[in-house]
Amino acid sequence: MSDSLSHFALKSGDQFPSIGLGTWKIPDEVLPTLIPEAVSLGYSHFDCACDYGNEVAVGEGLKSAIANGTSRDDLWITSKLWNTFHHPDHVRAACERSLSDLGLDQLDLYLIHFPVTLAYVPFKERYPPGWFFDEEAENPAMKHVKVPYSDTWGAMEELVDAGLVKNIGVCNLGTAMIRDLLSYARIHPVVNQVEMHPYLTQQNLLRFCQENEIVTTAFSPFGASSYVPLSMAEDSERLFDDPDIQKIAEGYGKTVGQIALRWAVQRGTVAIPKTQTAAHLKENIEIFDFELSYSDMLAIDSMNRDRRFNDPAEFGEAAFNTFYPIFD
């Protein structure tokens, strides 16, 4: 039993639950019952975002869980600042909108969703704003605006000062941008949330973050599964069908999903698997009663293919008519 891995200490002193439920693509009608069910199974951490368009429904689920007897203090709620709200004039309003939708007074963690700065879209025009500037235009596209990351970070720090959020962090940043951020941050970024799975291990980024007291959260911890239905991955790339990881799973009497999550947590990352399937919900939190051997950890590390599924350089052009690389 490795209970010591159930939480990771953040530089702020807070304890960050190492498994969270990802809420991207979970339909509104599912969340009000899924969230209390997750809490009853032992989940306390919920990963949300303005862009997922379902924070009101997440809020209903949180309200039920709290009505069932869970204390707000025992829950960890993360949300994210969308790309259209990076200008300091919009950061607080965006955070307050997520808080109001979620039915909360304070977030445990607020992240900048992407190092992507898009033109402001007012709430009354469209919420969530998504990627297009004007969906009705003849040739809809993303509209880039110039907002220095340092300006956005300053506004994020003010959210901590105002007590609206306990911790702030980033998503989808590489080492160079984090190094720059650390040169001016008054409040330390405690988390970098990035795509990470056995086919994209990002060893250098993980090590750099560890050396700088930034906890890495692994999104899409199952790799292709989330992206096949979006035509952003091939069926043949599914981790669940990989014979090498299947073999490791058989050896422990665990599922491939549990092996992927245990590997993530054992290498020191938080993982936020999404599921709306009851059996998966139960399975994905049951990873604290076994330990992967050193050689199996190395074997999974060596499955790396540097395969990134969530890449604006690809989907920006394919889905939003705009070439917008951020990782190259």
Q: Is 98 in the site for ligand NAP (CB under 6 A)?
A: no
Q: Is 173 in the site for ligand NAP (CB under 6 A)?
A: no
Among 226, 266, 269, 322, indicate the residue that binds ligand NAP (CB under 6 A).
Answer: 226
Give the residue nearest to ligand NAP (CB): 22
Among 24, 127, 149, 327, indicate the residue that binds ligand NAP (CB under 6 A).
Answer: 24
Number of residues that bind ligand NAP (CB under 6 A): 27
Of 22 and 189, which has the nearer Cβ to ligand NAP?
A: 22
Maximum alpha-carbon separation in the chain: 58
Of 68 and 277, which has the nearer Cβ to ligand NAP?
A: 277
Of 42 and 122, which has the nearer Cβ to ligand NAP?
A: 42
Q: Do 192 and 171 contact (CB within 8 A), yes or no?
A: yes
Of 89 and 234, which has the nearer Cβ to ligand NAP?
A: 234
Q: Is 202 in the site for ligand NAP (CB under 6 A)?
A: no
Short-list 38, 265, 164, 254, CA closest to 47: 38
Indicate the residue type of 103: G
Short-list 140, 116, 128, 138, CA closest to 321: 140
Among 193, 201, 202, 322, indicate the residue that binds ligand NAP (CB under 6 A).
Answer: 193
Q: Is 54 in the site for ligand NAP (CB under 6 A)?
A: no
Q: Is 277 in the site for ligand NAP (CB under 6 A)?
A: yes
User: Phi and psi dihedrals of 174, rounded to 5?
Assistant: -95, 180
Q: Is 262 in the site for ligand NAP (CB under 6 A)?
A: no
Q: Is 310 in the site for ligand NAP (CB under 6 A)?
A: yes
Tell me which stretch binds ligand NAP (CB under 6 A): 11-19, 155-163, 217-225, 285-293: 217-225
- Residue 83 has, within 13 A of its CA and on its CB side, a CA count of 21
Bridging pattern class, strands 270-271 and 107-112: unpaired
Q: Is 110 in the site for ligand NAP (CB under 6 A)?
A: no
Of 2 and 276, which has the nearer Cβ to ligand NAP?
A: 276
Q: How far apart are the first and last CA of the chain?
A: 41
Q: Is 284 in the site for ligand NAP (CB under 6 A)?
A: yes
Among 47, 55, 108, 242, indicate the residue that binds ligand NAP (CB under 6 A).
Answer: 47
Tell me which stretch binds ligand NAP (CB under 6 A): 20-28, 68-76, 160-168, 183-191: 20-28
Indicate the residue type of 231: S
* Rg of the chain in Å (alpha carbons): 19
Instruction: Please give the structure tokens belonging to residue 88.
Output: 């300091």
Among 23, 201, 202, 322, indicate the residue that binds ligand NAP (CB under 6 A).
Answer: 23
Short-list 211, 159, 208, CA closest to 187: 159
Which residues have C-beta within 8 Å of that of residue 205, sequence separation ≥ 6?
174, 175, 192, 194, 216
| Interhelix angle 243-252/256-266, nearest 10 degrees | 90
Q: Considering 43, 52, 227, 324, which one is annotated as catalytic?
A: 52
Q: Do 195 and 273 contact (CB within 8 A), yes or no?
A: no
Task: Give me the least distance between CB of 217 and ligand NAP, in Å please.
Answer: 8
Instruction: Please give the structure tokens belonging to residue 105.
Output: 């007074």
Q: Is 52 an active-site residue?
A: yes
Q: Do 28 and 54 contact (CB within 8 A), yes or no?
A: yes
Q: Which residues are catalytic?
A: 52
Give the residues lining the site for ligand NAP (CB under 6 A). Answer: 22-24, 47, 113, 171-172, 193, 219-222, 225-226, 240, 255, 257, 272-277, 280, 283-284, 310
